Structure 1
Amino acid sequence: MAIDKQHYVLCSHCDLVIELADITVGHKAVCPRCNTTLAKNSCNMKFRSAMYAACSLIMIIVACGFVFIDIRIVGNYIGVSVLDIPKTLYFDKYSYVSALFILFVLLFPIFNLLIIVLLCSRIQLTKYRKRDLLIVYEKFQHWCMPEIFLTGVLVSFVKLMSYGSIGVTGTFWSFCLFVFFYIKSLVIFSPEVIWDEIHRNNFAVNTLKAGKTGISQNLKLCNCCQAILPMNYEKCPRCKQKSKIRDHDKIQWTIALLVTSLILYIPANLFGIMITVVFGSASTSTIIDGVIYMWQSGDIPVALVIFIASVVIPILKIISLSWLCYFALAVKQKNKNNCLKMKKLYTAVEFIGKWSMIDIFVVSVICSLVRNQQMMGVYPDIGVTFFASVVIITMIASQKFDPRLIWDRPQNRKIGQ
């Protein structure tokens, strides 16, 4: 399927109006100003997306039904399934972390896979139903983390080997296939194609001028479906969502959330994240304690992974978002190179933000497996709750930030207010 000629798009990152010609199969169009991907043309997009999504759903059903991984501690066998992990957290009175696990690792990815199957299959859906499914897909997409959980499982194996003998079953490989097929379906799936089936993306009254910003042509972008709208439209005709030319309140939200995450980051590192009980004697370990243990044990790569994901990334994300807010609000003299650097910084923050959850998943796996009640047990501690909150709040902060403010000139800020 080729994109029609005279097809215009408005870049969601730099607000540039671009006219797209035909895109050949297997290629994509990028913004000439900020290098953001604007559209792609995948071969048999619907069929391949639906096929991979269906395979992924089959694999997760298998993965949830049987023992996932097991451990032998002093002759005792302990095995857990994927569903046993949130159940253990719930019984340990960490229902908050348990709910996050269920939502981020299971429910949200499964819902999105089902949406892909429905939208890409031959099931007859009204344009209103397609619209609702696409809106749900977009909202869930930022919070899907099965690949991060799988990485956390692999990291936890290093720690678990100090407790006993680790074993994996066929169910573990089913979960690996679930993650693989899930990623493949997301890479191939193109929501823009489905939105175009509902309605064209251009609602502008006047002729668009490619190479100029949308705000200079009295145009704005729908943040939900990426439609091009005149400034006076309060709601997008295609997705029925409210739209603003620029939402400067979001920067205030971003700053407030960053301050909150910085406050929570202190107890997240001061309080323990795991309690290890050996023959009735309890000891608490913090995130830094876990890094030091891995380093002293000779597992330097794993120690670096945990240190970067759990210590470096949250701090860098807070600093980076703060710098982005300063650049958007205070810097008046902007050139393309500086704006492009800020855009790359924002893209990196968006990508790496949720990987800090890896430490939460490592704790979840270890606490679920090491449960030899008479000799040894590992339990979550209050630091897990604080740290999970830091990750979630910083993710919300990055989503609140409008990257188009990076490129706006001072005169454009007044128009958007």
Structure 2
Amino acid sequence: MGITNSLNILAIPDILYRDNYMSLMLLFLLFVLLFPAITLIIQIVVCSKIPLSKYRKRDLLIVYEKLQSWCMPEIFMAGVLVSFVKLTSYGDIGIDRAFWSFCFFIIFYLKASIDFSIRKIWNELATNNFVKTELKSGKTGMSQQVRLCLCCHAMLPAEQRHCPRCKQKGQVRERNKIQWTLALLVTSLILYIPANLFGVMNTIFVGSASSSTILDGVIYMWKDGDYPVALVIFTASVIIPILKIIALTWLCYFASMFGRKRKRDCIKMNKLYNVVEFIGRWSMIDIFVVSIISALIRNGEMMAVYPDVGAIFFAIVVIITMVASHQYDPRLIWDKR
């Protein structure tokens, strides 16, 4: 209809803020802008010649370890590409130079994250072995009265509560984390119901409002012939959350089994946990799609899109399942007694 609108990355949180969607604005600011910037700054500072005490480097590495899994610029870019397909039904879509700049940022950001060897830097600060006795291969650390620091991965005597390298508190096994994981999974399962029943996006067209759920969007794109995008959204927003809840529940059950674990089963469970840790963040793609579309389509009463309450419930589900996977202690997979 001759109406044009442009959008830059900083306009998205600004529009969400003006529309009083504070929770979605904070998620976007933290996961897409702030956390990736902090991790990159830490990489630059730690790898440069800036004089820092080992205590400051230690603090920076701890912050980096905690924030790394919450950085989602590549997931946001996937949401941008999905949004392009959705927006073709509203008009012509064009990209500007900033789009290509962000693409190159994603490439270099991922490359920097891969090349940044955090264990090597920990070893430069202090030794990774604080055990005085000789360790034997083929035996578990717990049987040799040795534990692993989950923060800096140093080997410590089992009775030592605080790691001398990163100063973080820990113990041989944290079995109460199974209860924490299960409690978080039950919470996410309860919240997953309203996340699918309530709409995630509210569309106003010529003064008439209509709300659409996650499945409504998948069905619409499938009927419209956008099969790849429909499969991506269905996988990320429906299949992955359910499979993650089922997988973590199975891992909790397996960890509570004693004396009946075979080595190959433990290896499979450990691989399953690594897969759950990797794919869990990708469910946020639908939240980013909603944020992009609602920020771009603003033509008053003629045509406008707003986030709906279902998007908030779904974002909470994704965050809780991520926290649940972080709470799980994968060392319990290998315990036979």
Shared fold per TM-score greater than 0.5: yes
SS across alignment from 2:211: strand
On the 8 A contact 2:258/2:336 being kept in 1, the answer is no
SS across alignment from 2:6: strand
Please say if 1:151 is aligned against 2:78.
yes
1:382 corresponding residue in structure 2: 309
Please say if 1:178 is aligned against 2:105.
yes
1:207 corresponding residue in structure 2: 134
On the 8 A contact 2:257/2:336 being kept in 1, the answer is no
On the 8 A contact 2:159/2:171 being kept in 1, the answer is no
1:314 corresponding residue in structure 2: 241
Identity of aligned residues (%): 64
SS across alignment from 2:256: helix
**Within 1, Cα distance between the matches of 2:55 and 2:44?**
17
Q: In structure 1, which of residues 258, 263, 277 is the aligned counterpart of residue 190 of structure 2? A: 263
Letter in 2 for 1:199: A
Shift of 1:211: 2.5
**Within 1, Cα distance between the matches of 2:3 and 2:214?**
28
**Within 2, Cα distance between the matches of 1:334 and 1:381?**
46
1:227 corresponding residue in structure 2: 154
1:70 corresponding residue in structure 2: none
Letter in 1 for 2:329: D
**Within 1, Cα distance between the matches of 2:301 and 2:215?**
28
**Within 1, Cα distance between the matches of 2:148 and 2:8?**
44
1:326 corresponding residue in structure 2: 253
Shift of 1:91: 1.7
Shift of 1:227: 0.6
1:23 corresponding residue in structure 2: none
Shift of 1:351: 0.7
Q: In structure 2, which of residues 45, 52, 59 is the aligned counterpart of residue 125 of structure 1? A: 52
**Within 1, Cα distance between the matches of 2:295 and 2:88?**
15
Higher strand share: 1
What TM-score comes out, normalization by structure 2 length? 0.99
Letter in 2 for 1:115: I
**Within 2, Cα distance between the matches of 1:208 and 1:319?**
37
Letter in 2 for 1:366: I
Shift of 1:80: 1.2
What is the CA deviation profile of residues 112-161 of structure 1, one whole-angstrom value per residue up to 9, with x for unaligned ones? 00000001111111100110000000000010000000000000111111
**Within 2, Cα distance between the matches of 1:281 and 1:254?**
43
Letter in 1 for 2:40: L
Specify whether residues 241 and 375 from structure 1 end up closer, same or farther in structure 2 by C-alpha distance, changes over 3 A only: same
1:369 corresponding residue in structure 2: 296
Deviation >6 Å, runs of 4+:
none
Q: In structure 2, which of residues 138, 141, 144 is the aligned counterpart of residue 217 of structure 1? A: 144
Please report the RMSD computed on the Cα atoms of aligned residues, expressed in angstroms: 0.8
Q: In structure 2, which of residues 161, 168, 190 is the aligned counterpart of residue 241 of structure 1? A: 168
**Greater Cα shift, 125-134 or 74-83:** 74-83
**5+ long unaligned stretches in structure 1:** 1-73, 411-417
Letter in 1 for 2:267: L
Q: In structure 2, which of residues 112, 119, 124 is the aligned counterpart of residue 192 of structure 1? A: 119
**Within 1, Cα distance between the matches of 2:185 and 2:55?**
37
SS across alignment from 2:153: coil
Please say if 1:354 is aligned against 2:287.
no
Letter in 2 for 1:228: M
2:15 corresponding residue in structure 1: 88
Aligned residues: 337
**Within 2, Cα distance between the matches of 1:293 and 1:102?**
29
**Within 2, Cα distance between the matches of 1:238 and 1:129?**
12
Shift of 1:374: 3.5
**Within 2, Cα distance between the matches of 1:359 and 1:136?**
27
1:339 corresponding residue in structure 2: 266
On the 8 A contact 2:204/2:301 being kept in 1, the answer is no
Letter in 2 for 1:354: R
**5+ long unaligned stretches in structure 2:** none
What is the CA deviation profile of residues 257-289 of structure 1, one whole-angstrom value per residue up to 9, with x for unaligned ones? 000000000000000000000111000000000
What TM-score comes out, normalization by structure 1 length? 0.80
**Within 2, Cα distance between the matches of 1:174 and 1:263?**
40
Shift of 1:336: 1.2
Shift of 1:331: 5.1
Letter in 2 for 1:263: I
